Amino acid sequence: MAINLKSSDKKPAGPFLNRLAHDRSGNTMVLVAAALLPLLGMIGGAVDMSRTYMASAKIQQACDSGVLAARKKLGSIDATTSSKLPKEVEEIGDRFFNINFRDGNYATEDREFRMTLERDQSISGVAEVNVPTSVMGIFGVDVVPVAVSCEAQMNFSNVDVMMALDVTGSMRHTNSGDSKSRIDSLKDVIRDFHSNLESNKGSGIRVRYGFVPYATNVNVGHLLKNNWVASDWTYQSRELAGDIVSEYNTTYYDNWKYVSGTASAWMTQSSYAATWVPGTPPSGGSGDQGGSSGSSGYYRCDGSQPSDTITQNDVLIATATEPYLGPPSGTKTIETFERTQNGIDYTTARSGSTCEVRRRTYDNYKQTFDRITHPKMSVNIEWLYKPIKSRVGQWRIETPGCIEERNTYHIDDPATVDLTRALDLDLDLVPDPKNPDTQWRPHYQNLIYVRSLNSSGNGSIIQEEVRSTSTFARTGTWWFSDCPPKAQKLQELSEGALDTYLSTLNPAGATYHDIGMIWAGRLISPSGLFAIENRDVSFDKPTNRNLIFLTDGQTEPYDIAYGAYGVEALDRRRWDESSTNTLVETVDARFLIACNEVKKRNINVWVIAFGTTANDAMIKCAGAGRYFEASDADQLKTAFRKISESFGNLRISE
């Protein structure tokens, strides 16, 4: 705060006092009057300065309020490319300043308030006002200028942010009002979120980011130690049972030869304009499924053509046999025929946008040909479809890296979960190499065959073993069983490293929320698999841990999908068709159990429903004020901004 005295143009009182000091007339009244002037100056100055200090204290408070409100409104907007405050930020700062120091307070004049966005994204302010004097004007001081400065900063403690990101097929869709797909909008918002946190963190502050892209499964194999993964496991698969050999006769036609008569060339009889069939735009699909890519328009011939009048007569003229060496060996029969054709044959052909009706005339047209028959053998492989135990020690080079979860059980009461049995929901248990129940299992998509469902999806799923020459559905390779992009542990990220990672996120697969929450919790837990990496690094700056769970859809499981719990319809590890709850209800319940386990570790959980609504499980998971519904990219950006604001402490700089 600076207070300066400003003089007027009045003549100084010095000469009068000098004359009075040398006046020896003994005029008592004059002496008393002269003594009043210093006394008046002291009292009047005290009154004016008191009001000045009151005004300066109030305007300092207003300045502080203005920059604090502006900095809060700025949130974590990345404005580092400009020193100019966004309009809405400037407006809120001015509003709070005006509320706290109205024009004319303490009879002040010429009030002014200016704010500047600094390079470190703090907001500085300068407030100035003139305080008119009441008494000091007698001494030539008409106003006292007051100027104060203020600055608001957003400071962060150490922060860990783990993002469980839905990368299912529906993330290819585009929300109403957006110009980009959901996945591309999400990438843009994450880039802004990262930039904002990085530009606001103070010196010595650590901010780390981790990612768990999830769909039907999660890709975490590269993060696991070898002895955390089983070296053998049983898969719903098949093995060779033998060959089935069958014999049958095959017949074909050969040795066509012209004899006599004529067959004219094709001649145009009439023509008409072809019908244009417009193309169809790409469809968005439904749920997690990808839509069609659309189709191009084309021309079609819809007109009629005359009926054929051609007649055909085949006469057997000779028969011969000879040995057939095979395999299998047998007899080859050769029957020679003569064919006679008469009449007209019609056809329609399109040339560009024109359709032509063409005819060909046969006049006693004769040919000979052979009809040949001989034995043939076919060998069909027979398979035995059943659970098969396989050695999987080479899983790191043979699979993309998805996993099957460790042992669990059917949970009837989510309020009383036994984590000694539901090891999949124990976020901190480190696998014991001597106890396979505690280990994860490699996810081998190509080994899976669902008996006895055929490749078109027809048939029924049965538990019993099946011998068959049919190839049953390989649902491990179907779209809803896709292995998503790799997860990433918590680490500090540069802008370039973030871009590199985000480029790997491509949508595919179905929505299983529980597996995303389970593994996001595992990767951020300060007391589990990565406890050493996730521990606090500063006693006075404990880590603020946050899990952001983002989805664009409701749970959409398939009992024939191959996911983290095998093939649900066959493996039945956490659910079967006789369960009290549906498969959807089972996944949602386990999602909420996992979420509660995360929160027990003092981790803030945030849920964002992007282009969808938050269901009961999501709302209960996050709690009041920690879940968001974002219908477009702007609302998504707002949700991330509000989350980032919770990481920091807004304060006035000294």
Q: Is the pLDDT of residue 358 over 90?
A: yes
Domain boundary residue, one of 106, 135, 154: 154
Whether 101 and 189 map to the same domain: the answer is no
Distances (CA, A) of 160 to 74, 145, 475, 649: 22, 48, 37, 16
Cα(540)–Cα(109) distance, integer angstroms:
46
Q: What is the CATH number of the domain that holds 467?
A: 3.40.50.410
Of the listed ranges 130-134, 268-272, 569-573, the least confidently predicted one is: 130-134
Give the mean model confidence (pLDDT) for residues 144-155. 88
What is the average per-residue pLDDT within 455-480?
A: 94
The H-or-E segment that residue 504 falls in is none
Q: pLDDT: is 112 or 71 the higher one?
A: 112
Determine the pLDDT at residue 539.
82
Report if residue 201 sits inside a domain.
Answer: yes
In a domain, 546, yes or no: yes
Residue 470 domain-assigned (yes or no): yes
pLDDT per position as a tens digit, 293-302: 678 899 999 9
Higher pLDDT, 321 or 201: 321
User: Tens digit of pLDDT for each residue in 557-575?
Assistant: 999 999 999 999 999 999 9
pLDDT at residue 12 greater than cutoff 50: no
Residues 402 and 512 in one domain: yes
Q: Are residues 220 and 251 in the same domain?
A: no
pLDDT(38) > 50:
yes
> Is 564 part of any domain?
yes
Considering the domain architecture, whether residues 397 and 293 belong to the same structural domain is answered as: no
- Whole-structure pTM value: 0.74
**Shared domain check, 425 and 524:** yes
Q: Examine residue 527 and state whether it is found in any structural domain, yes or no.
A: yes
Whether 654 maps to a domain, the answer reads: no
Q: Kindly write down the DSSP assignment for every residue of 45-94, as one continuous string.
A: HHHHHHHHHHHHHHHHHHHHHHHHHHHHHHTT---TT-SSPPHHHHHHHH
144 and 186 part of one domain:
no
Question: Is residue 2 over pLDDT 90?
Answer: no
Res. 27 pLDDT band, cuts 50 70 90: low
**pLDDT for 4:** 47
Helix (H) or strand (E) holding 581: none
Structural domains in the chain (count): 3
285: confidence class by pLDDT, cuts 50, 70, 90: low
pLDDT for residue 228 is more than 90: yes
Residue 13 clears pLDDT 80, i.e. is over it: no
Which range (71-75, 290-294, 452-456, 527-531) has the least confidence? 290-294
Question: Does 491 share its domain with 632?
Answer: yes
Q: Is residue 386, in this structure, part of any structural domain at all?
A: no
Burial 115-146 (b: 16+ CB within 10 A, else e): bebeeebbbbbebbbbbbbebbeebbbebbeb
Average pLDDT of every residue of the chain: 90
Q: What's the pLDDT score for residue 48?
A: 77
Same domain, 519 and 636: yes
Q: What is the pLDDT of residues 163-188, one digit of tens each?
A: 999 999 999 999 999 999 999 999 99
Give the pLDDT mean for 648-653.
72
Per-residue pLDDT, 5: 42
11 has a pLDDT exceeding 70: no
194 and 127 share one domain: no
Do strands 2-3 and 141-156 pair parallel, antiparallel, or not at all (unpaired)? antiparallel
Please tell me the predicted confidence (pLDDT) of residue 3. 46
Whether 281 has a pLDDT exceeding 60, the answer reads yes
* Percent of all residues in the chain with a pLDDT value above 90, rounded to a whole number: 77
* Whether residues 197 and 295 fall in one domain: no
Q: Which of 102, 133, 154 is the last residue of a domain?
A: 154
> Is 387 part of a structural domain of the chain?
no
Same domain flag for 258 and 335: yes
**For 421-440, what is the mean pLDDT?**
98
- Angstrom distance (rounded) from CA 89 to CA 549: 29
Using CA atoms, how far apart are residues 365 and 261, in angstroms rounded to an integer?
Answer: 4
Query: Is residue 584 pLDDT above 90, yes or no?
Result: yes
The yes-or-no verdict on residue 379 having pLDDT over 80 is yes
Indicate the residue among 380, 404, 424 that finishes a domain.
Answer: 380
| Residue 365: C-alpha distances to residues 306, 344, 588, 637 (Å) | 21, 12, 75, 79
CA atoms within 13 A on the CB side of 284: 11
Could you tell me if 519 and 579 are in contact, meaning their C-beta atoms sit under 8 angstroms apart? no
Q: What is the pLDDT of residues 485-507, one digit of tens each?
A: 999 999 999 999 999 999 999 99
Residue closest to 219 by CA, chosen among 519, 455, 514: 519
| Domain boundaries, position 281 | 241-380
18 and 116 belong to one structural domain: yes
β-bridge mates for residue 112, sequence order: 128
Asked if the model's pLDDT at residue 9 lies above 50, the reply is no
